[in-house]
Amino acid sequence: MKMLFKQRFFSWLDSYDIYDEQGNTLFTVEGKLAWGHCLHILNHDGVHVGTVKEVVLTWLPKFELWAGERNLGVITKELTFFSPKYRVECNGWQVEGDFLGWDYSITAADGARVASINKEIWNFTDTYTIEVPDGENALLALMVVLAIDAEKCSRN
């Protein structure tokens, strides 16, 4: 499954639309006014299916991933000097690659690829391609990408 992640051009808060390869809306992401980043994910019917919420008052950026009232995991930026690194505490997943160039992947504990993320250049807004071999992982992979994007945007 391939998802196209596009940031909305005119938006006061973080807002994104996620499309499939045919241009159909899979998810809509709406930033909510909160202390720290708070992103609500809606499915194609407008039903709330997930939240990415920044944990404030931490030494390094940290985001919780929620599906309703259930905490799915946490992603934390690790202390590094030259290249960003993230620790994912969810399903045994790992995130690795070139975060500065927005070319990275999410892998499972057994080394299987969960998702590949690539930034498309020459667009007015942030646009990424998220390739997820198993559609069951689409929402959670999107949450990880949103957390990393929110952390990178808050540094700039």
The whole-angstrom separation of Cα 23 and Cα 19 is 5
Considering only residues 100 and 119, tell me which one the structure prediction assigns the higher pLDDT: 119
pLDDT for the residue 127: 80
Could you read off the pLDDT of 39-70 as tens digits, one per residue?
Answer: 999 999 999 999 999 998 888 899 999 999 99
Q: Cα–Cα distance between 127 and 55 in angstroms, integer?
A: 25
Q: What is the pLDDT of residue 156?
A: 45
How would residue 12 be classed by pLDDT, with cut points 50, 70 and 90?
Answer: low
> Distance (Å, rounded) from C-alpha 82 to C-alpha 142?
25
Q: Is residue 148's pLDDT more than 50? A: yes
Look at 10-19, 26-35, 132-141 and tell me which has the smallest mean pLDDT: 10-19
For position 84, what pLDDT does the model report? 83
Q: How many residues does the chain have?
A: 156
Residue pair 113/107 in contact (Cβ under 8 Å)? The answer is yes
Mean pLDDT for all residues in the chain: 88
